[in-house]
Amino acid sequence: MAPKVNLDFILEMLDAASTVDGLREIVERVCESFGVDHAMYHWVDSAGDHYYFGTYKDEWVARYQEKSYVRVDPVIIGCYQRFHPVDWRRLDWSSKPAREFMQDARDHDVGNQGYSIPIRGPKGQFALFTVSNNCDDATWDNFIERHSRDLILMGHYLNRKVLEFEPDRGPGQVQPLSPREIDALTLLAMGYSRAQVAQTLSISEHTLRVYIESARFKLGAINTTHAIARALSLGLIII
Amino acid sequence: MLRYVYAHDLPRHPKLAQSMFQDRADQFKTRLGWDVDVDDAGEERDSYDALDPLYVIWENSNGTHGGSMRFLPSTGPIMVNDVFPQLTGNQPICSPLIWECTRFCLSRESSGNVAGALTLGGLEIMRNFNIAHFAGVFDRRMVRIYRSLGFSPEVVGTMGQGRDRICLGLWDYSLEAYQRVALRAGLTTELSTLWFDLSFGGIGMPGPVAMVG
């Protein structure tokens, strides 16, 4: 399940997306990138309307709606109103309806493993970004260990994009970087090592990591290199 | 034991919740003299409690509160961005991988290692949810206490003078910190993991994999 596609490419597609259909394609690519069977994005907007797109079979999506599985799905019940990432193995599958639902999901190739990121947006908006796969526990443990942070960021980036499509919102603007964040990215762009940047700014490498983390999220970037490239292309840093 | 409880689940633990908010009033208003709101029931709450935060709470054997702290992700409203913007140079902290920790509170009767257990609870969150950093605003006197607990923040901003001086600290997850804090708190990581799993469900417990086939 090693990533097959460069995540930078996904984020470039995300930048360029201007319609919900564009996002649909991105979710499919996310799935390939992370090497999982399925990825899906589900959100409830501030008006309470549900939207879904992802790679599950149409037949399963239709069945989910027909059976009103949203009422018994432990993933929905266990993620709603939360903000921590949820490994499906931690959910309560003990009730009979939950077990029947799980069997039905497996019969439709959803997979036996899943990882869901709940996202709380503004004004009651709620979203869920999920990847699922068919594999043993050890493989899944290893996958989560390696990719959890990337998945958390990916879910939030998708959600940020979706919020741009809400009627009363304009195109998203990158949040301004703080002077420290600009300094850190500028020095890194100039080829300084992390240790040299930290020394130059009179901060520890530990604090530097937080500045980079915060800048990375503001820039919608998956790693430091990508954050620097984006900051340069947006004219936020100049070298 | 440690419990991890979202605000919307507090009504299921009425005794624990009531004594937590009362202990907060005792610590922040009575002892520290902060300008906080205390209601007729003697409970201290602020607007962040209404945002459905996650609490880590030490529950005494009689079911009352022994200590607690509160977490919210920095992607939503948080105290350091709203109340103390000077501490970040007016540029908000914002990332799903950075959570803010506030209202670190100990009841008067608490024994020494409740603070250590709570700190371990924070690290358990970082470890299991892959949260890279915590941010928190605290009184300068806490610096020494955090050090003794084995989990020191880096102070990245300060404001005010003398007794009123407050700091913005950033904490960073590492496995070494997790093990060190457990050792100082006198708790095994196995017990800590068990408490975490009791609140969030355990991966080792019978789950989807064990139930089918």
Interface with chain B: mutation pick from A79, A86, A90, highest number of B CBs within 10 Å: A90
Q: Choose among B174, B180, B28: nearest CA to B104.
A: B28
Considering CB atoms only, which of B76, B95, B207 is closest to A214? B95
Same domain for A91 and A18: yes
Structure tokens at B148: 């003794």
Residue numbers in B near A102 (CB within 8 A): 208, 211-212
- Domain holding A151: CATH number? 3.30.450.80
Same domain for A151 and A55: yes
Check CB contact under 8 Å for A82 and B6.
yes
* Inside any domain, residue A170: no
For the residues A201-211, what does the mean pLDDT come to?
84
Residue numbers in B near A106 (CB within 8 A): 212
**Domain boundaries, position A89:** 7-164
Considering CB atoms only, which of A177, A180, A209 is closest to B172? A209
Q: Which residue has the higher pLDDT, A38 or B110?
A: A38
* Whether the predicted pLDDT of A170 surpasses 60: no
Same domain for A158 and A195: no
Check CB contact under 8 Å for A153 and B8.
no
* Inside any domain, residue A46: yes
Distance from CA of A26 to the nearest CA of B (A): 21
Same domain for A26 and A116: yes
Check CB contact under 8 Å for B97 and A153.
yes
Distance CA A225, CA A233 (A): 12
Buried b vs exposed e over A167-206: b needs ≥16 C-beta within 10 Å? eeeeeeeeeebbebbbbbbbbbbeebeeeebbeebebeeb
In SS3 terms, chain B reads as: CEEEEEHHHHHHCHHHHHHHHHHHHHHHHHHCCCCCCECCCCCECCHHHHHCCEEEEEECCCCCEEEEEEEEECCCCCHHHHCCHHHHCCCCCCCCCEEEEEEEEECCCCCCCHHHHHHHHHHHHHHHHCCCEEEEEEECCHHHHHHHHCCCCEEEEEECCHHHCEEEEEEECCHHHHHHHHHHHCCCHHHHHHHHHHHHCCCCCCCHHHHCC
Of the listed ranges A213-222, B15-24, B52-61, the least confidently predicted one is A213-222
Closest chain A residue to the Cα of B209, Cα to Cα: A112
Same domain for A198 and A132: no
Of the listed ranges A2-6, A84-88, A208-212, the least confidently predicted one is A2-6
Report pLDDT for B208: 41
For the residues B195-200, what does the mean pLDDT come to?
95
Check CB contact under 8 Å for A84 and B89.
no
Residue numbers in B near A103 (CB within 8 A): 212
Distance CA B87, CA B166 (A): 9
Same domain for A125 and A79: yes
Cβ(B154)–Cβ(A202) under 8 Å?
A: no
Residue numbers in A near B156 (CB within 8 A): 203, 207, 210
Closest chain B residue to the Cα of A95, Cα to Cα: B211
Distance from CA of B56 to the nearest CA of A (A): 14
The DSSP secondary-structure symbol of A122 reads: G
**CA quadruple B52, B56, B59, B64: dihedral sign:** negative
Check CB contact under 8 Å for A209 and B132.
yes
Residues of chain B with pLDDT > 70, as a percent, come to 95
Report pLDDT for B204: 62
Check CB contact under 8 Å for A207 and B156.
yes
Interface with chain B: mutation pick from A141, A144, A206, highest number of B CBs within 10 Å: A206
Check CB contact under 8 Å for A206 and B172.
yes
Residues of chain A with pLDDT > 90, as a percent, come to 47
- Domain holding A191: CATH number? 1.10.10.10
For the residues A134-154, what does the mean pLDDT come to?
94
Considering CB atoms only, which of B8, B91, B130 is closest to A178? B91
Residue numbers in A near B129 (CB within 8 A): 84-85, 148
Q: How many domains does chain A have?
A: 2
Same domain for A122 and A45: yes
Distance from CA of B204 to the nearest CA of A (A): 8
Structure tokens at A4: 């097959």
* Inside any domain, residue A171: no
Report pLDDT for A177: 84
Q: What is the architecture of the domain spanning B2-201? A: 3-Layer(aba) Sandwich (3.40)
Distance from CA of A41 to the nearest CA of B (A): 17
Check CB contact under 8 Å for B52 and A81.
yes
Provide the whole-model pTM: 0.89
Cβ(B99)–Cβ(B132) under 8 Å?
A: no
Report pLDDT for A208: 86
Structure tokens at A69: 């599985």
Residue A162 C-alpha from the chain's centroid: 12
> B106 has which bridge partners?
B67
Q: How many CB atoms lie within 10 A of CB A138?
A: 8
Considering CB atoms only, which of A84, A203, A214 is closest to B98? A214
Residue numbers in A near B121 (CB within 8 A): none
With H, G, I as helix, E, B as strand and everything else as coil, classify residue A126: strand
Structure tokens at A57: 């079979």
Considering CB atoms only, which of B94, B130, B172 is closest to A217? B94
For the segment B125-146, what is each residue's pLDDT rounded down to a tens digit?
999 999 999 999 998 888 999 9
Cβ(A236)–Cβ(A182) under 8 Å?
A: yes
Same domain for A130 and A41: yes
For the segment B52-80, what is each residue's pLDDT rounded down to a tens digit?
999 999 999 999 999 999 999 999 999 99
Residue B211 — pLDDT band, cuts 50, 70, 90? very low
* Whether the predicted pLDDT of B213 surpasses 50: no
Same domain for A136 and A70: yes
Same domain for A113 and A186: no
For the segment A95-124, what is each residue's pLDDT rounded down to a tens digit?
999 999 999 999 999 999 999 999 998 877
Cβ(A27)–Cβ(A40) under 8 Å?
A: yes
